[in-house]
Structure 1
Amino acid sequence: MSSPSPPGLAPGLPGAAEGARPLTVIRLMGPAFVAAVAYVDPGNVATNITAGARYGYLLVWVVVGASAMAMLVQYLSAKLTIATGRTLPEMCAHRFGRGTRLALWAQAEIVAMATDLAEVVGGAVALHLLFGIPLLPGGLITGLASWLVIVVQSRRGQRPFEAVVAGLLAVVLIGFLYDAFSGGFSAGGVASGMVPRFAGGDSLLLACGIVGATVMPHAIYLHGALVRDRHGDFRGGKRRLLAATRLDVSAAMSTAAVVNLAMLVVGAATLGVRAGDSIEAAHGGLAAALGPLPAMLFALALLASGFAATSVGTYAGAVILEGFVGRTFPLAVRRLLTLVPALAVLALGAEPGEALVLSQVVLSFGIPFALWPLVAFTGRRKVMGELVNGRVTTVCAVVAASVSTLLNAALLWLTVAG
């Protein structure tokens, strides 16, 4: 699949005037909600529920901190493209040598495969919980569903695609919020979970998984393309579009943060260590504690997240390939490139929950390779012009990239030492 070529400025969108009337700004919103789907995928479900079941509210601070980090980096990704007309992969290809460019592309493809693993496995598990479909056929159905959603984008344009994805995101939001409030939760526990701390190496592993599931490398690569494909070349309207992007990202990432927190609350309030910490255990625990409706909504939310997130992941894979390598593949071929490893994991009979959590750890290792170039580019006036980051933004971006890098280094040390 190739990333759709910019359609040009849509009528009534960015124009020569820089005034940003509220209704005009709202009409420019949408791309961030597509990116936000990557932050509420089945990998998030697995890591957040596991964290809640094993450690209660201990890692609430990780969810909140990762969500704040996600809000910043998605904004910077969109800002880079608004300022330069290039996505992050295209900018890396333009600025770096061939060896660096190909190395970044290789790790980005591994990230894309880990992403698809989580989303296809999650969709397969949801279909099994809802309809009893075996995991391997369920993975095939999930892959086909994602392909159909991307067909909407390639044939109907960006707005219908955004509408489909936003509808699936709404299902995820409603399902997990209903379950979180139905199960009850401790406000004091959530407040105490805001104090940064760990409880051994396993909690650090889960923290890295939460960060990897929340700050998604492929979404960082993708966001600029979403903005460009929706709004064209931005001529004459960069300031207005940047203002709309801030609102878009704030609303979308806040929604994703609420969903992620609800996932952890479901694990902490409804499951606990005795009930188990897998997705199947969460479904069974909800059914036993609250009845069939919360369990069904949980499975529907998981299915919607799998369908939507794997569609967005396929889109991101095309942006990664075209940006770093300058090549495109047909939609079906691009879909198969990352689908095959996920189907192989299902065929080999791997435990779905463990596969989901480990996939998020792999994703966390890809974050620095996306973040550090993004921080460097958006902090350079020669690259960004008048849209260059201010000092406070640069400091916050450096802190976010540093925290991610240090978490991964600590996890690697614990793995080797253990």
Structure 2
Amino acid sequence: MDVLGSKQDSGWRNKRGEASLSDVHRSINVSQSGSRWRRLAAFAGPGYLVAVGYMDPGNWATSLAGGSKFGYALLAVALLSNLMAIVLQSLCARLAIASGRDLAQACRDAFPKWVSIPLWALAEIAIIATDIAEVIGTAIGLNLIFGIPLELGVLITALDVFIILYLQKMGFRWVEAFIITLLGVIAVCFGIQIFLADPQWGGVIRGFFPTTEIVTNPEMLYLALGILGATVMPHNLYLHSGIVQTRNYGHTLPEKKQALTYATIDSTVALCFALLINASILILAAAAFNSTGRTEVAELGEAHSLLAPLLGLAIAPTLFGIALLCCGLNSTVTATLAGQIVMEGFLKMKLQPWIRRLITRAIAIIPAAFVTIWYGDAGTAELLILTQVVLSLQLSFAVFPLVMFTASKAKMGELVAPIWLSGTAWLIAVVIAGLNVKLLVDFVSG
């Protein structure tokens, strides 16, 4: 019996219900007798699934625009965004391990229905917006590599549901292995492209140090807001708090403290990898486009077509397309899991993963197909921007509850977030809310 967990249930309106992702809950054993490295390896995986959300096509678009327009200057913003993400994802692991709840279950158990149901609706909208971005990114990837028309590529993305179904039947470790393999392919693709682009490494290093120009230059500030606003994804907060519980880390306080340490290391290392990829996109854009006077490159298809003549090798755009396609496939897996966690957590409603996936993907394909058929490449770029705005507006509705829960001694018990961590998290929440308000005002005003 989880004595620690039962004590902490007194801080919630409702008692803890069925475990998150019950079919894989605590399905991966963590040896308490093995070496520290072996236990750390047992926790490696969830962080990389989370990291995928920090490399979606929306991030690619903002990083391309920032690099082509301002060179390496906005690398400091990418670094700041990543530090914010590390703090928030560590809170997700803390919430899951301390309370035994994912973020969706915590909202259901902490708030009355008139609050939790709108939060569920907003979370679903965020997942659909994420899925639209994935549909577009995967379709563009298929177009760039195989020449498949965007309209057909959008429809082909519906078939990825079978990949998800197959992987989940094999076990959660296979899902993680699939994600990490594709992340490795993405890293290799960008490593080769950056080698070909030969960036000014002195400028790269200086780019990680913020300058006052980021604030004083309106155009640079706008792109910086775009990078910050599109980095942390709402569905990632629900996802991480669910998949951490796939580890069978024990029930005592020392075991939970140890699990929190390893889970935080896992997510921090994985998010540093995500920073490496996002920084690579910006560095590639700066080296290939900004240095040659092409300062207005923001569309994925345009970037792809320019890489071959600028880098001098035909393989460069192919590598770009492969990396984009891998990102789309990766995001498909994580969005499916996040959708399950949100629906089960808020509504206690269970659907087969493939049914849930088909419903979400069908909703996403309709607007994506309409836009690609009627407006073509330019329309998909506009739709991509719109999904990022929608995601940004949803973010605060996930961040504020997360920070509230993890700062509560009644809900978290001995694993309550320290004052310095809660203070930092509250500051991040307020900054994100402020940036999103500005992003909304800018979007409405055109």
Identical aligned pairs, as a percentage?
A: 36
* 2:229/2:436 contact within 8 Å kept: no
| CA distance 1:71–1:244, shift in 2 (3 Å) | same
Give matches, 1:208-287, under 5 Å: 208-228=225-245, 230-232=246-248, 234-236=250-252, 237-272=255-290, 273=294, 276-287=297-308
Aligned to 2:298, the other structure's residue is in SS state coil
| CA distance 1:176–1:346, shift in 2 (3 Å) | farther
- Decide which of 351, 375, 391 is 2:403's aligned counterpart: 375
Gaps of 5+ in 1: none
Quote the offset at 1:126 in angstroms.
0.6
Aligned to 1:245, the other structure's residue is in SS state helix
Q: How far apart are the structure 2 equivalents of 1:40 and 1:309?
A: 9
Aligned to 1:333, the other structure's residue is in SS state helix
In structure 1, what is the equivalent of residue 371 of structure 2? 348
Quote the offset at 1:412 in angstroms.
2.7
In structure 2, what is the equivalent of residue 130 of structure 1? 145
More deviation, 203-212/83-92:
203-212
| CA distance 1:414–1:42, shift in 2 (3 Å) | closer
**Which amino acid in the other structure matches residue 356 of structure 1?**
L
Q: How far apart are the structure 2 equivalents of 1:357 and 1:11?
A: 38
- Decide which of 280, 284, 296 is 2:318's aligned counterpart: 296
In structure 1, what is the equivalent of residue 186 of structure 2? 172
Give matches, 1:42-61, under 5 Å: 42-61=57-76
**Which amino acid in the other structure matches residue 259 of structure 1?**
I
Q: Aligned-pair RMSD on alpha carbons?
A: 2.3
TM-score (norm 1): 0.92
Quote the offset at 1:109 in angstroms.
1.1
Give matches, 1:195-206, under 5 Å: 195-196=210-211, 197-198=214-215, 203-206=220-223
TM-score (norm 2): 0.86
* 1:37/1:312 contact within 8 Å kept: yes
Q: How far apart are the structure 1 equivalents of 2:119 and 2:435?
A: 20
1:399 paired to 2:427: yes
Aligned to 1:5, the other structure's residue is in SS state coil
Q: How far apart are the structure 2 equivalents of 1:67 and 1:318?
A: 26
* 1:88/1:374 contact within 8 Å kept: yes
* 1:58/1:198 contact within 8 Å kept: no
In structure 1, what is the equivalent of residue 177 of structure 2? 163
Quote the offset at 1:74 in angstroms.
1.1
In structure 1, what is the equivalent of residue 81 of structure 2? 66
In structure 2, what is the equivalent of residue 143 of structure 1? 158
Q: How far apart are the structure 1 equivalents of 2:145 and 2:84?
A: 34
**Which amino acid in the other structure matches residue 5 of structure 1?**
S
1:93 paired to 2:108: yes
Quote the offset at 1:20 in angstroms.
6.8
| Matched residues, number | 413
- Decide which of 198, 211, 215 is 1:184's aligned counterpart: 198
Quote the offset at 1:278 in angstroms.
1.1
Q: Deviations over 1:346-387 (max 9, x none)?
A: 333242223223312221112111111111101111111111
Higher Rg of the two aligned structures? 2
- Decide which of 328, 334, 358 is 1:306's aligned counterpart: 328
| CA distance 1:11–1:76, shift in 2 (3 Å) | closer
Q: Deviations over 1:55-108 (max 9, x none)?
A: 322322221111111111111111100111100010001001111111111111
* 1:271/1:277 contact within 8 Å kept: no
Quote the offset at 1:331 in angstroms.
2.6
* 1:4/1:154 contact within 8 Å kept: no
**Which amino acid in the other structure matches residue 410 of structure 1?**
K
Q: How far apart are the structure 2 equivalents of 1:154 and 1:3?
A: 15
* 2:127/2:335 contact within 8 Å kept: yes
- Decide which of 439, 442, 446 is 1:411's aligned counterpart: 439
* 2:28/2:247 contact within 8 Å kept: no
**Which amino acid in the other structure matches residue 140 of structure 1?**
L
Aligned to 2:230, the other structure's residue is in SS state helix
Q: How far apart are the structure 1 equivalents of 2:445 and 2:296?
A: 31
1:328 paired to 2:356: no
